[in-house]
Amino acid sequence: MKKSVLVQEIFPSLSQELQSLLMAKREEVLAAQVPALRIFDRCRCLDDYCATFYTQPKPEHGWGPGHRTVVLAAAKGELVIDVVDGVIAAVEVFHRDDISRQSLLAEFP
């Protein structure tokens, strides 16, 4: 199994954007987690527009009752944060040319 990598190592601008958007949404606790966010795996769908990644190990049967989503007001594309029990578990990234699916594929084939 591949080791995790910091989000800010592969996507430094996304890391800054996430932190800024979460602060703007008054999600300070989540924003404080962003600098240490690690990517454990990528979404395994075949959609070219998807660059979603998991910042916690992906569960086999869904996130469970402690799950909520935070939709961020991204200037381009779509950004949605999956939060489980107060911890960022995944970052859903759609329709973002600057956040390349190819970069994820290189790290997580």
At 23-51, the pLDDT tens digits run 999 999 999 999 999 999 999 988 889 99
Type of residue at 96: R
**Does residue 54 sit in helix, strand or coil?**
strand
Binning the chain into helix, strand and coil, the percentages to the nearest 5 are 30, 30, 40
Q: pLDDT at position 109, please?
A: 82
Does the global pTM surpass 0.75?
yes
Give the pLDDT band (50/70/90) at residue 1.
very low
Q: Residue 96: CB partners within 8 Å, gap ≥ 6? A: 51, 74, 76, 77, 78, 79
